[in-house]
A and B are shown apart, each in its own frame.
Chain A
Amino acid sequence: MKRQKMITISRRNAIYLMSGVATTVLFSKYAIAKPNLALQKIKEISRNSVEEIDLFLDVPEIAENGNQVKVSFDIESPMTEDDFVKTVYLFADGNPAPNVAKFSFSTDMGACAATTRMRLSKTQNVYLLAEYNNGKFAMTKSKVKVTIGGCGG
């Protein structure tokens, strides 16, 4: 009697256990990915086909004031109708929201560059994602050390 009971329990539990393990694995995957919302956003936009190359992203190595961090980029591109950079995204993985800015370029600009100032709440990575007109994506990242954070609070 005791033995039979043990068998029935183990058989049923085997299925529950397996589904349980599957769910935990599934959720833990999201749990691990959650802290880096910036990378998650990049994967979402580029549909996982992003190439990490060395684009020119100019951010200071150490930012004393996180309220005003100058960020500029310059992507080499002929900017002709056949070959140009369509959109450039900026992300920061340590800020309350990962999105920083989205730039839309056109062929009239002659070069793919821009400068702006952003807030950084703590030491973190700044990501740059470029979308080309042929559907390709390229990204680069740069670490900024922040002395005084600048997101309020």
Chain B
Amino acid sequence: MSKIKPRGKVPKKASVDEIIEIKTLIRHPMHSGRMKDKNGKNIPKRIINKFLVKFNGKQVFGMDLEPSISTNPYIAFPFKAKETGTFDFEWTDDNGEKYSMSRKMTVS
């Protein structure tokens, strides 16, 4: 199985009050529990069920995912730049594992 790898695109620089777009993608199979493998066996359910974004420690965006979300979940959302800081992204797997990533943004 391919390794689970989060990726994100945050503009490095932004001006004050500019609405920027943040794009994230995590490589994850998102097994819905309904698919079958080559031998006709059911693949157990395993999805990313939660996605959280914090900016300077404060939660700004959250998403609860269900099996109806595609493989390699792509999530894009806006953010209003006000101050320089760090984004912390966190994905939670069904098996309890957490994948995180952080990105810096400079506001001038």
* Residues of chain A at the chain B interface (Cβ within 8 Å): 67-69, 72, 79, 92, 95-97, 99-106, 108-111, 113-120, 150-153
Contacts and interface: CB of A to CB of B under 8 A. Distances in A.
Contacts, number: 100
Contacts of B74: 115-117
B77 A104 contact: no
Interface in B1-54: 17, 19, 32, 34-36
B79 A109 contact: yes
Nearest to B56: A108
Nearest to B31: A152
A97 B76 contact: no
Contacts of B70: 67-69, 117-119, 150
B61 A103 contact: yes
Contacts of A151: 32, 34, 68
A152 B55 contact: no
B101 interface: no
Nearest to A74: B78
Given A111-B80, A117-B74, 7 more contacts: A72-B76, A95-B68, A96-B67, A100-B69, A109-B80, A116-B74, A117-B73
Contacts of B67: 96-97, 119
A40 B50 CA distance: 24
B73 A152 contact: no
B60 A100 contact: no
Interface in B59-97: 59-71, 73-80, 82
Nearest to A90: B68
Nearest to A72: B76
Contacts of B79: 108-110
Contact of A106 (B61, B64, B76): B61
Given A104-B61, A110-B80, A116 B69 contact: yes
A104 B62 contact: yes
26 contacts: A69-B70, A72-B76, A92-B68, A95-B68, A99-B66, A102-B63, A103-B62, A103-B77, A104-B63, A108-B58, A108-B60, A108-B79, A108-B80, A110-B80, A111-B19, A111-B78, A111-B80, A114-B78, A115-B74, A116-B74, A118-B69, A119-B67, A119-B68, A119-B70, A120-B68, A151-B68
